Structure 1
Amino acid sequence: MSIALPFLAFLVASAFAAYHRLRLAVWAAMTATLLVACWLLGANHVATITAGVLVALIALPLLIPQLRKPFITTPLLGFYTKLLPPLSDTERTALESGTVGFEGQLFSGKPDWNQLLTLPKPQLTAEEQAFLDGPCEELCRMTDDWDICHVRADLPPELWDYIKRNGFFGLNIPKEYGGLGFSALMNHKVIQKLASISSVVSSTVGVPNSLGPAELLMHYGTEEQKQQYLPRLADGREVPCFALTGPFAGSDATSIPDYGIVCMGEWNGINVLGIKLTLNKRYITLAPVATLIGVAFRMYDPDGLLGDKRDIGISLALVPADTQGLEIGRRHFPLNSPFQNGPITGKDVFVPLSQLIGGEDYAGQGWRMLMECLSIGRSITLPSTASGGSKMGAVTVGSYARIRKQFGLSIGRFEGVEEALARIAGNAYATSALSEATAAAVARGENPAVPSTIAKYHCTEMGRKAAMDCMDILGGKGIILGPRNFAGRSWQAAPIAITVEGANIMTRSLMIFGQGAILCHPWVMKEMKSAQLADPVERIDQFDAALFGHIGFAISNAVRSWWFGLTGTNIGSAPGDDDTRRYFRKLNRYSAALAVMADTSMLLLGGKLKFKESLSGRLGDVLSQLYIASSMLKRHQDAGNPVGDQPLLAYAFHDAVNKIETALSGALRNFPIRPVGWLLWLVIFPLGRRAQAPSDRLGHKVASLLMTPCDARERLAEGVFTTPCANNPGGRIVSYLPKVVMAEPVERKFLKALKNSDIEALEFDAQLDEGVREGWITADERKQLEELRAITLDAIMVDDFDPEELRSAGYASLHGRIAPRAAA
């Protein structure tokens, strides 16, 4: 024991210093003190001296800059520059365009939860709330999704007019330019509410307020361009679209083949310097009705009219729809969700340089401009759409599951249905928290590149899963389309959100971790930038600071990950109350595990990592679920930590943690260098995997919340259109739930008496008459049961049609026109 004691002291001091991230000098002093104590306590002197020499060999070269920089840092810099993956200009632009908020803490291994919890609670202004309760509520009342999707394949004229007159196309345009000047949070709230009644209406409003001419003009436009276009965009005189995607450039937008040649040409009768465009675009939302088109293209100057550079790069221009040579094609037909979408082509379309967004100064800056603005579409429009659909599905199907009975029991009481209800509620809770957190980041002035990709991917995926579970519970009610169907169109539209703004497969496997590992890591970007400095002294100094900060960071996270795995995160300081403190501790553990995996992967795989898409996707899942869980904890705190929400939070949190461990397990079991994977398993899972999916008992509590009028259910439904009206079958079903719950005791009493009687009446009304005569129920209770029967019928009934109605519907005639062309 006397021999082992000095080495044990060395290990304990090292682990303690690494866990608490103490400076190297502090570690050396602390270890030396412990070794002196070992000497005085009679430990083996040879072992103590050996341990002391080991401390000196580590500390002295690292603590003395004159030794460290030339003999350690300089050789490592040479190795690092060879290891550093080559970055294209477009990749570098993408990495440098975003800002880092709290998500950066999730890569630290030791998140500063105070940074998250002290963020202001997302709140609307009084003016914004009035708009949400007024014009937005009225637009929802006017919306008939069946008429839009089945009869017209378009919004009716009165809806187009109402949207334009009330400024829905100018939500975020400043008031000085005629817009409403609302925040990004308000944008989220509007889209969320509209999506709960119609995805066609929400996308129609969402596109002009996300990636499009208005957003780009507000950031980069010249004052003349702003004065000319923003007021017209705000009041709907101009309907915008943005043409980016083409047949040969989908997710890889940097490879667009569309081009513009700098030349002289005629514009409004005057010979001016401009660009002659050739383009072929598709999937352009609002293209069929657009009057002002933003176009992304590669700009060339073969005659040197602007300078020596021939390939100027990706640029953005505003092209009026009536410009000669520009052609807006026939409409695309997206999965029975007929929002306006179509192709745009053009040959030798001339526009002056003044039509470049931002003017000539921004020629060639298009990719950076897009990267800085794409986060709006990913952060707000698509996540908010998924949130609105998921939340509406949760409260509507929860009500339906209580109303609909089979075998004398509400179908929501069957355990199989309970499982689906719990998943719907968990996904709705997580989606709501994630979409609001990301919109709030934009509202604070951040450009959340990494959270926007997380929100886009996971909100749309959770929305799709919620829609699937809704359809499974509804059964025949869900698959029969008609005015009474509130879920079928959402199910049909789910793949659209998965596909647009970057296909989800690519988003998960390439973008989330690929951007996050560099943007959010506290040291990687610093190392990369320092290694590229021109001044040799400055390069060594900055790389030295970043490198050894990174080494200490990696050692600390390995120790923290192992310790948390060993103790089950039951030890350690964390914020929160008795219910949530253990959640924060778990996230501390997985943050350290993510940092260890990220550092190991980048060190050993280098530039090959970006081709290891399965590994990148799994590590992206870990980062995403950390961010989602953090958003849910912030939401819970902002709501005042309500006791009623605890089952929802617990279900969604345990689901997230189970996904984290599943992703980590998959990454370790498939790590390209197998011995390293085994070693990392011992660091991250020293006692094996512990997280499990939410229990059946917890699922039962969550499902019961959806089927019972309560504050938690009301909070989950906040922000969606549940007003009962003729055009909102889901809202009607939601409004029925309190009446159904109140009538259930009377119904049970009546059915029990009926079962034990010998009456021969078969019709429901006759049975009620007999029940009143026999004294089973009172006259008032009879009315209650009659209302319950009417409610139930309205909830479960589906529509039917005369065959001629279906043959004469817009889609039937459209098919007749398209089929011959397709055959040809």
Structure 2
Amino acid sequence: MYVLLILIAVIAIVLGVPDIRRSLISRPAFAFFKRVLPPLSATERDAMEAGDVWWDGELFSGKPDWHRLLRTTNPKFSADEQAFIDNQLETLLAMIDDFDIVMQQRDLPPEIWDYLKKEGFFAMIIGKEFGGLAFSAAANSHIVGRIATRSLSVAVSVMVPNSLGPGELLTHYGTDEQKNYWLPRLANGDAVPCFALTGPEAGSDAGSIPDHGVICKGEHEGNEVLGIKLNWNKRYITLAPVADVLGLAFKLDDPDEHLGRGKHLGITCALIPTSHPGVKTGDRHFPLAQAFMNGTTYGKDVFIPLDWIIGGQDYAGKGWRMLVECLSAGRGISLPALATASGHVAQRMTGAYAYVRHQFGLPIGKFEGVQAAMGRIGGLNYSVESMRRLTVAALCEGQSPSVVTAMTKYHMTEMGRTIGNDALDIHAGKGIQMGPRNYLASNYMGVPISITVEGANILTRNLMIFGQGATRCHPYVMKEMAAAGNPDEEAGLREFDQLLIKHIGFAAGNTLSAFWHGLTGARFADSPVSGETARYYQHLSRMSRGLALSADVAMLTLGGDLKRKEMISARLGDVLSHLYIASAVLKRFEDDGRQQADLPFVRYSLEHHLHQIGVAFDGFLQNFPQRIMAGLLRVLIFPFGIHYKAPADIHAQSISDAMMIPDATRDRHTFLCYWRDDENDVTGHMELAFQKMFKLQDVYKRLRKAQKKGQIGADLNGDALADAALQAEVIDQSTAAELRHCERLRMSAIAVDSFSFEGVKDGKFKALD
């Protein structure tokens, strides 16, 4: 007893007396922290400091405030946005024939280009004072997503001017003169923009661009002026072949120090008319059977005036920070919208096809193997839409959460890939034969495009999510890094000392809480709600504690090596990501009024993400190089083992049943999917067949009974089936007429397009009747 009291007194003195604490604890810790601090390049530091910390910070804290999450406003469209969605957007969707665009035109038709320009589709992020639409992130996401359900090529053409590019960069950083000249031209479509960042040796590592500019004197419009002589060679630039104005990122040097800021200024962004002497555009790439304009641009010894730098001379060398700050928001809108569109189409059309397509006398959606895939489609689509909504809500609140948008881009595009694979498996032959009635193939082939651009997914998962999240989202690490970097070492030590005490308390609290939650199964953790989803909040709170503890241990024991242990850090990033997605699912369930019909989707989604958290933790603990610490962490976080299971079969079966009912739940889950009341429409032919067959489900039951009794043939379809049933008096004349119509729709829905031999050879693809 006395020994314990003495020990407590010693600890209290060491921690409570500042001079003793700094001498015995803080100074050695300060030296250790500076030694293991991961070295950051200038571009890494800019990327690290870009954007805001939002709900990701709560999840990293170990004690997320669920009430804060539920208070986040679900964004609504303004009157102008809703009118545009109801009118201009619907008009555009009716104009689109994606098979013609991709397989025959290899371009958007002139009437679509003209309509996009005239109606402001390229000006959604430009302010109204410049003739733009000034739409919110929510409207931007919805519009791009709904277009993508019709044509990925059109959607990409719309999303790029409204994402990272001249319009956004000018809005945030342009001089008044640049804004007044360019933004009205971009808004009314007189100038089509592109932005050239990546090249042959600078893809995901865009900070290593070799393109180069030198400040020097040269001739412009007949006068000698101070400007930049540029050389560049860019690839993969969307809209470059048709652009009127080129945004260009390059490294800028000032060898004669004309600007008085050193010889090497860094990455800079400039705006150059493509008609300017020496600018070369026009060559096209052909990205995975898509028809959007993507190509090259290059220039040799092109001279431009200094005032073509976006933001003017003051922004020379500040281009990288400008880019990562804009990308931190844009990454959460465009590509996630494309992934969501694929999910909505896959869920709606796969449910319809699984009902319309019969094998062995049953809809294929009644077979358990198909139901397993349908469960993934419906469950993951619920996650994708939930994640899209929550991220857009943050952006509409004025946040720019860089870690959240990185998680959103990575996981939504990966879940979209899984959904697409399952949809193709179920559709089988109908999914792989290209033609005017194939609503899956074009978007399916376009999935790797979303995976690749705006930060390749491998890079995003392995380097960005946890690498940036560990410092930005942690309540103390970023501040401790700043203290360690203070040139006044004593001042830095004093600041570090205060932070260290708080950090120790933070780590101790997470350690004790993680162990307590592990012992009790988190049954005493707080939940903001009661009922069906309360336990999920408790499980997520427990995993948040585990993440906070594991991150501290990983950073403490591995230090700068953690940046190179990509497989380790990626797994912790997976934990953070799945915590975020599960949070989004819970938030959506509350926002939608706790719809009971949604519970199978909610349960499937949450069980999937908790299981993935368990998988990520297990992989982290199995491979963590400090084996003693790995064993200790396993005991603290999972004293009785990791017991999160993959979603139960019953949830997949309930989802598949719901996908085959044309009701309000199906409409709510697939509202982005465009279809037209037209038997020849790419999605309309399947939707109409599904609705008609569902309406006549009792008739088809009577027909199956009659076939079993031998009253009508078992191998009949179409008019022959209707005639036989009428003759056997199984149905009456009125029903026979409906059945003939339904059978025609059904046979059209399960059929695939075919073409003349010569037509395919010539690339004309004239469909045969």
Q: CA deviation at 1:736?
A: 3.7
Partner of 1:802: 756
CA distance in 2, matches of 1:603, 1:731: 58
Could you tell me how far 1:526 is from its partner in structure 2?
A: 1.2
Q: Is the 8 A contact 1:378 1:453 kept in 2?
A: yes
Shift of 1:350: 1.0
For the Cα contact (< 8 Å) 1:188–1:436, is it kept in 2?
Answer: no
Give the letter for the 1:733 counterpart.
M
> Which residue in 2 is equivalent to 1:777?
731
Paired AA for residue 808 in structure 1: D
* 1:107 alignment partner, one of 57, 60, 80: 60
* Cα 1:54/1:763, change in 2 over 3 Å: closer
- Answer yes or no: is the 8 Å Cα contact 2:146–2:341 preserved in 1: yes
Partner of 2:207: 254
- Tell me, yes or no, if the aligned pair for 2:214 and 2:230 is still in contact at 8 Å: yes
1:636 paired to 2:589: yes
For 1:811 and 1:801, locate their aligned partners in 2 and report how far apart those are by CA, in whole Å. 6
Aligned pair 1:575/2:509, yes or no?
A: no
Could you list the per-position Cα deviations for residues 779-799 of structure 1 after superposition, in whole angstroms to 9, with x for gaps in the alignment?
A: 222123222212211211111
- State whether residues 377 and 501 of structure 1, in contact with CA within 8 Å, keep that contact through their aligned partners in structure 2: no
The answer to whether structure 1 residue 345 and structure 2 residue 307 are counterparts is no
Do the aligned partners of 1:238 and 1:291 also contact (CA within 8 Å) in 2? yes
CA contact (8 A) 1:152 1:810 kept: no
> Residues 6-405 of structure 1: matches in 2 within 5 Å?
48-307=1-260, 309-405=262-358
How far residue 456 of structure 1 moved from its aligned partner, in angstroms, is 0.9
Q: Give the one of 683, 687, 710 matched to 1:734.
A: 687
- 1:416/1:78 Cα in 2 relative to 1: closer, same or farther (>3 Å)? same
When the two chains are superposed, the root-mean-square deviation of aligned CA atoms in Å is 1.7
C-alpha separation in 1, matches of 2:126 and 2:678: 32
Residues 664-675 of structure 1: pairs in structure 2 closer than 5 A: 664-675=617-628
Number of the residue aligned with 2:381: 428
What per-residue deviation string (whole Å, max 9, x for no partner) do you get for residues 661-688 of structure 1?
0000000000011222112111121101
Q: 5 Å matches for 1:596-615?
A: 596-615=549-568
Give the conservation status (yes or no) of the 8 Å contact 2:718–2:744.
no
- Report if aligned partners of 2:73, 2:393 keep a CA contact under 8 Å in 1: no
Structure 1 spans left out of the alignment, 5+ residues? 1-47, 813-824
1:757 is aligned, of 710, 713, 716, to 710
Quick one: which of 722, 747, 755 aligns to 1:768? 722
Q: What is the SS of the residue equivalent to 1:379?
A: coil
SS in 1 for 2:284: coil
TM normalised by structure 1 equals 0.91
Decide whether aligned partners of structure 1 residues 263 and 401 sit closer, same or farther in structure 2, where only a CA change above 3 A counts: same
> Deviation at 1:770?
4.0
Distance in 1 (alpha carbons) for counterparts of 2:439 and 2:451:
20
Q: How does 1:711-722 map to 2 (within 5 A)?
A: 711-722=664-675
* SS at structure 2 position matched to 1:69: helix
| Cα distance in structure 1, aligned partners of 2:96 and 2:720 | 40
The amino acid of 2:519's aligned partner reads L
| Matching residue's letter, 1:565 | G
Secondary structure at the counterpart of residue 333 of structure 2:
helix
Structure whose CA Rg is larger = 1
| Aligned residues of 2:679 and 2:688 also touching (Cα < 8 A) | no
Q: How far apart in 2 are the matches of 1:444 and 1:523?
A: 25
In structure 2, C-alpha distance between the alignment counterparts of 1:291 and 1:69, rounded to whole Å: 61
Q: Deviations over 1:342-391 (max 9, x none)?
A: 01110011111110000000000001001101123311110011001111
Checking the alignment, whether the CA contact within 8 Å between 1:397 and 1:473 is kept in structure 2 is yes
Q: Distance in 2 between matches of 1:139 and 1:726?
A: 19
Asked if the contact 2:712/2:728 (under 8 Å) is kept, the reply is no
CA distance in 1, matches of 2:202, 2:65: 41
Deviation at 1:767, TM superposition (A): 4.4
Deviations 1:609-650 (CA, angstroms, capped at 9, x unpaired): 000010011111111101111111111111111111111111
Residue by residue, what CA displacement relative to the aligned partner does 1:396-422 show, whole Å, maximum 9, x if unpaired?
A: 111110111011100000000000001
Structure 1 contact 249–256 (Cα < 8 Å) conserved: yes
Pair 1:707 & 2:637 matched: no
Instruction: Say whether the 8 Å CA contact 1:246–1:280 is kept in structure 2.
Output: yes
Unpaired segments ≥5 residues, structure 2: none
Separation in structure 1 between the aligned mates of residue 299 and residue 169 of structure 2, nearest angstrom: 22
Q: 1:775 to 1:196 in 2, by over 3 A?
A: same
State the Cα distance separating 1:189 from its structure 2 match: 0.6
Answer whether contact 2:153 2:291 (CA < 8 A) is retained. Answer: yes
Q: How many residues are matched? A: 765
Q: Any idea what SS the aligned residue of 1:351 has?
A: strand
Do structure 1's residue 682 and structure 2's residue 635 form an aligned pair?
Answer: yes
Percent identical pairs in the alignment equals 47
| Contact 1:145-1:727 within 8 A present in 2 as well | no
Equivalences for 1:539-578 in 2 at 5 Å?
A: 539-578=492-531
Quick one: distance in 1 between partners of 2:578 and 2:711?
60
Residue aligned with 1:173, SS: coil
Question: 1:802 and 1:601 mapped to 2: Cα distance?
Answer: 62
TM (norm. structure 2) is 0.97
CA contact (8 A) 2:718 2:743 kept: no
CA deviation profile, 1:491-541 (whole Å, cap 9, x unmatched): 111111111111111111111100000000111011111222244554233
SS at match of 1:305: coil
d(CA) in 2 for partners of 1:658, 1:762: 47
Which is further off, 781-790 or 515-524?
781-790
Residue 71 of structure 1 and its aligned partner are, at CA, apart by 3.2
| Letter of the structure 2 residue corresponding to residue 234 of structure 1 | A
Alignment partner, residue 408 of structure 1: 361
Q: CA deviation at 1:564?
A: 1.4
Distance in 1, matches of 2:261 and 2:159, equals 41
C-alpha displacement at 1:175, in angstroms? 0.2
Once residues 395 and 764 of structure 1 are traced to their aligned partners in structure 2, the CA distance between those partners, rounded to angstroms, is 25
